[in-house]
Amino acid sequence: MLGALTALLLCQLIGEAVVRLFDLPVPGPVLGLVLLLGFLALRKGIPGELAPTANGLLKHLSLLFVPAGVGVLQHLQRIQAEWLALAAALLVSSVATIIVTAVVMRAMMRLLKLDDDGEETP
């Protein structure tokens, strides 16, 4: 667990450093993700303790968004003043994005004759 956490932090550290060094538009953690992926590909496997640590973090990914979400308290005034525009924008945009992305992806998959793996209906 400790080794795996160190590896994750190390990837992030290198990612942040490279992004700043070369002034890249990519966020540091995303570069760190690519770095770890490259490492796993070279190693041709996931080291034993990395999987449970990574899965543990991802299992509670929701928790990590809570502190930023509570920041809603700082913006109550603006949200009250522009609530209709904000609510309509978020709602329309979320529904439209889900539909467009899923429909385009399925259409492209059909076009390229790729299979559907959704035997189990959700």
The least CB distance from residue 56 to another protein, in Å, is 9
- Write the secondary structure of the chain as one string of H (helix), E (strand) and C (coil): CHHHHHHHHHHHHHHHHHHHHHCCCCCHHHHHHHHHHHHHHHHCCCCCCHHHHHHHHHHCHHHHHHHHHHHHHHHHHHHHHCHHHHHHHHHHHHHHHHHHHHHHHHHHHHHCCCCCCCCCCC
The least CB distance from residue 79 to another protein, in Å, is 8
121/99 Cα distance (integer angstroms): 18
